[in-house]
Structure 1
């Protein structure tokens, strides 16, 4: 095999000369020579990887000077080929992997493509794995890996990434000798990680340590050094970061001076110029907010304008620049009230939100500002609709299937209020159909995703079986890949971390593959809305006929109820001016404090305190106006929320005459109202009581579509599996004993047997987790009397606690429970949820609905051993007494809402007859709730 006639020495010498002189023409000549070397080298020749790497380096040099995206893509391609053609033991492979990782990271900074940063981390990890401990190049490689983790964290906010960035950076600094060429650059990279961490955590120590590192680096940097502008810019950004924590305005002057000097030292043609000018404008905007000097605002606006003029399309930072220019112009409008400023502000918010490669968090913020300002300053609602449509789409992208479930929920914590804000504006404009769609499309996203992954594809199979099967296969793989990655620390081997990244890349690729398949399906005539959120008209067609569905939107500016009734062409709008987000949050806090005082945060063995719970701490009976907090909360919910809705719906007061003649009502609350007992709202005075119980049978639904899905698909109980499986687990390991579960299950089992119902029970150690799953497949209805644990960070890991182990929700959801009908969760806090994820319904009740059960009985707080057996008996007795086939040996749960209404009324009457304290009585029956159809 002949050696290529173009040797590497010549183009490398030209490259070295061009780098020293800044001669772009010379760099281009070196690129051409490397391209010729690659073209003349036969495939398989041992020199080809080196030629490809050299080509990548020369392309990178031109990209660093000019910033052309085409050079960046060609560079990545060259490095990828060099790596793929190199033997695993090649002496230069680690360096080529590092070059590939850095190139991927560079492109990610411009485009925010998740595959690029995943590829960067993977390449750097492989490079690190090739170095033995003590190798002189290891610190430099660790620093590069840490920088890639940092870049991904700034985009996704995954705490695992910032932890890895800090770990890699600290280790790189520790391993590099202080007199080595790498020490200063490693130290700078570590300081940058500390700054980003401080912005996330708010810890002053991190940013202070970073600033001290950066000051020392600048002191030892020569004036003529090419590194000086970068170090000045980073120091200025760090000081601005500390100002955001301390609000010490004295630091802003130093920050602005540092960044301004960095801008002055940077040629306008250099690819870093726009970023530095943008940060200078941002620091001036911060100072304007402190001192209100108009010159700072004017200079900031001019700086942002210059950035958006210079920055090419396709750069992710363009979205940030447009968004911040929108903020600055909005501030100036607040001073001058010039309509041109607000028009320009809206225009730049629109551009920021519409940048397809921008950071999703920034794009979402811009879309919200675009929508709210358009609503406030224009007569047409069209622009606001377009803006909030995009905002909801961005929220769904942020929680996409390419991320693990835990990460999706972490991202949603900061944006759960977006659909509520949009719906409030739509209600203000009397555009109720849009309000409903935004609430439906932007809430309970993770459960909806899991539902979509399992949706039968029957119609598509008929039209294109191959496409349908491909979507089904990709969906199944994505579901299996949905679990969160293990938490990794500094002691975990690099091989394990590489495996986690491999799984993440596979999930990313699977998500993209499924998206492409869905696009192909939606291109088929008649399948345009395939697996898309339902439009309002479709929701209206599939409502239950036995009562209305009432959405209650609780937002900072207003509170509205939207009642949807079967057969009605339009929803009913009920403005609730006496209720607010602030009240909902206050009622939640007061109720939880009272529950804590009563010891109602877990199900314990009863003590003689009259109601079956252990009282924690000193008993204090707090009263407001002569009434307990619990009475106040229920009374307020009645007068401010529920009664106005019932009056608007013209619901008559029926009383306790018969549960069967009461209409159904499905509550779909939002925000903090999701944690309050609407189903028990009322005035519970001895002389003049009035409550929702006298007007309707209440159920809850996380979303309208989760209810209409069950209405649309009639459920006929398979006679082979129709029946009831019961289990009691009184002594789960490490938890208090709950002996009442034994009586609860035994009494229900005995009565079912007397009725000839198909029933089975397994108790305590006799039931394994795997056996329970089999019983769930063999019986349409289940009754779990046990402890439960909710994991709000990872809801699919929430579990029922057995003697022999724990049954996780994720495990239940992986089973094919096509005959699932009713789940009675006789455990504590199975519908409690999580404050920061109020719109995601992260509780076991919603999870069991997502797993396939049509209806679920759950609890809002702890239930007592004394009363749970009696309530369960009354519940099932009602079902059996009212089933259509009175002689049948099996039953379904279609009357479960009425049965629970009846059972709680019976419990309420018994407690009243016993003369118990009114508050204790309420806390005994109120926690029971019904979900589903």
Structure 2
């Protein structure tokens, strides 16, 4: 007895389903799509050109029906992945559906990426990049940081960068595996960084563009923190339209800035060649944890990145990482760039902890960075030191934390007149915000409170009132801050379970 062919059965069943779905049947698009996939799969196995021709015809019929009923899904992704000319840019396919929202386009792009991965299509990375670009579009039309955080907490959204990186790693494209997560991680903070980016050189070229850009950035920042900031500006019914217009003004001004000499790459996603410069201060270990595979990529300032596949046994993995770092002097600084759930783990303290064996902390000095771009930007700011040297603003609460008096005495001995020390009643939120915008170094020794339900309302306790994440963001300016030392409970924690790469905390906002 001959064995049954599952593909042939699928094709047969697909034809039967279509017989019972006339042209106006709501399920016809789905059945056309499924039969097209089955025929394409059989073509790949048997090479029968008539199967490919029928698959193309069915896909085109499905697309035509989808356009006719303004269906946002299954519009084009099967045609893109398995049938169409790969020379046609994926984004151009989307332009045929102007009525689809940014979120609907994202859903389609994500479906395209998932299907392309199943079929091992050459379109996988392009689809992932498109999906992450559309994540940014979705964030731009969402009203507040809280709304954006909810979207980024969706499992399929938060896993998108790690999925893309794992595919790139699987195919040997380690530079791409470094680039892609930079586009898809820390998006809320990246947007805040864009709104407060220093414009040191722009005024000399175009003072008008500088003023317009600063103004619209302030307005978008206030609106993203809380819609109540604009209660007196526009009526409630028009706030969404107001934000859309402001974002379009921001995008249009950004386009004009990029047309100026020397500003072509202003606020653009950094390519690998730029990201690699982040390793100038020591090797960076980027860790990607994904359901498909998990790896560490070691990035040096020169040469190709090195790959260390992760194993379930941490000591073995760390041993391989240390071996790959051969040639780096002991007690040199190395940088960790973890992702996902690893963000909350003290990787630097890992080791066998057996007598006679060394732990990681005995070999290297570890530091952390949330993204490579964050490290590059921080170093760029450090080059613009105050000619007067380091200045320090310290705030403490010795009335409830007695050791603060000793701590402040030590700071006074170290910094002398360069330190401004505020204890308890001597400060309030306005004083601290004003000082934070002009002082490169901050030192907080006080109580902190974590609001799990709304991280924007986490706060430092002051003698009178509090200083919340929301207040800090509302008062944010393009400062030259370099160091924030936080001796405050809960300052480094946040609601990280749902979207660890987008964690909002007191430490992050500083």
TM-score (norm 2): 0.78
1:672 CA drift (Å): 1.0
Are residues 1:278 and 2:33 paired?
no
For residues 242-641 of structure 1, what are the structure 2 equivalents within 5 Å?
Answer: 277-278=25-26, 306=61, 308-312=63-67, 317-322=70-75, 326=78, 343-344=82-83, 354-355=94-95, 357=98, 358-375=100-117, 377-378=119-120, 381=122, 383-400=123-140, 403-414=143-154, 415-485=157-227, 499-524=235-260, 527-540=263-276, 542-566=277-301, 568-576=302-310, 578-579=311-312, 637=314, 639-641=315-317
Match of 1:682 in 2: 351
8 Å CA contact 2:433, 2:472 repeated in 1: yes
Conserved? CA contact 2:394–2:420, under 8 Å = yes
Task: State the distance in 2 between where 1:520 and 1:401 align.
Answer: 22
Change (3 A) 1:821 1:778: same
- Pick closer, same or farther for the CA change 1:480–1:310 going to 2, 3 Å: same
- Check whether the contact 2:197–2:478 (CA below 8 A) recurs between aligned residues: no
1:269-307 per-position Cα deviation (integer Å, ceiling 9, x unaligned): xxxx6xxx4357669999xxxxxxxxxxxxxx9998655
Provide the C-alpha distance between the structure 2 equivalents of 1:724 and 1:768, rounded to a whole number of angstroms: 17
1:812 aligns with 2:472: yes
In structure 1, runs of 5+ residues without a counterpart are 1-255, 287-300, 330-340, 488-494, 580-635, 655-661, 732-738, 849-933
Contact 1:304/1:321 (8 A) holds in 2: no
Distance of 2:110 and 2:67 partners within structure 1 = 25
Structure 2 counterparts to residues 229-248 of structure 1, below 5 A: none
Displacement, 1:318?
A: 3.8
| Residue in 2 that maps onto 1:747 | 406
How many angstroms apart in 2 are the aligned matches of 1:720 and 1:401? 43
How do residues 127-276 of structure 1 correspond to structure 2 at under 5 angstroms?
none
Kept in 1: contact 2:66–2:75 (CA 8 A): no
After superposition, give the CA deviation of every residue in 1:71-102 in whole Å (9 maximum; x if it has no partner): xxxxxxxxxxxxxxxxxxxxxxxxxxxxxxxx
Which of 435, 443, 446 is residue 786 of structure 1 equivalent to?
446
Q: CA offset at residue 801 of structure 1? A: 1.7
Equivalent residues, number: 462
Structure 2, gaps ≥5 residues long: 1-16, 35-55
Equivalent residue, structure 1, for 2:322: 646
Report deviation, 1:663. Answer: 1.0
The 3 A distance-change label for structure 1 pair 793 and 444 is farther
For 1:763, the equivalent position in structure 2 comes to: 423
In 2: Cα distance, 1:484 partner to 1:440 partner: 26
- Structure 1 position 422, deviation (Å): 0.4
Following TM superposition, by how much is the alpha carbon of 1:724 offset from its aligned partner in structure 2, in angstroms?
3.2
Q: 1:547-586 deviations in whole A, cap 9, x for unaligned?
A: 11221010001111122222x032222222x14xxxxxxx
Shift of 1:439: 0.5
Of structures 1 and 2, the one scoring higher in RCO (CA 8 A, sep 6+) is: 2
Instruction: Sort the Cα spacing of 1:354 and 1:435 in 2 relative to 1 into closer, same or farther, 3 A.
Output: farther
Could you tell me how far 1:517 is from its partner in structure 2?
A: 2.1
Deviation at 1:817, TM superposition (A): 6.6
Whole-Å separation in 2 of the counterparts to 1:649 and 1:528: 36
- Residue 346 of structure 1, CA deviation: 11
- 1:670 Cα deviation from its structure 2 partner: 0.7
Name the CA distance, whole Å, in 1 between partners of 2:199 and 2:84.
Answer: 45
How large is the RMSD of aligned CA atoms in angstroms? 3.8
Conserved in 1, the CA contact under 8 Å of 2:392 and 2:420? yes
The normalised TM-score by structure 1 is 0.45
**How far apart are 1:513 and its partner, in Å?**
1.4
Residues 817-839 of structure 1: CA distance to partner in whole angstroms, max 9, x if unpaired?
73423211112232234111112
Relative to structure 1, the CA distance from residue 782 to residue 471 in structure 2 (aligned partners, 3 Å threshold; closer, same or farther) is closer
SS at match of 1:842: coil
Structure 1 residues 467 and 773: alpha-carbon distance in aligned structure 2, compared to 1, 3 A threshold: closer
Q: Which has the larger share of helix? A: 1
Cα pair distance change 1:537/1:462, threshold 3 Å: same
Q: 1:359, CA displacement in angstroms?
A: 4.1
Q: Tell me, yes or no, if the aligned pair for 1:798 and 1:844 is still in contact at 8 Å.
A: yes
SS at 1:761 equivalent: strand
Change (3 A) 1:747 1:688: same
Change (3 A) 1:817 1:451: closer
Q: What CA distance in whole angstroms lies between the structure 2 residues aligned with 1:717 and 1:523?
A: 30
CA 1:841–1:665 in 2, change beyond 3 Å: closer, same or farther?
farther
* Matches of 2:91 and 2:190, distance apart in 1: 30
1:342–1:729 CA distance, 2 compared to 1 (3 A):
same
Larger radius of gyration: 1
Task: For residue 783 of structure 1, give the secondary structure of its aligned residue in structure 2.
Answer: strand
* Deviation of 1:482 (Å): 1.8
> Are the structure 2 counterparts of residues 401 and 804 from structure 1 closer, same or farther at C-alpha, using a change threshold of 3 Å?
farther
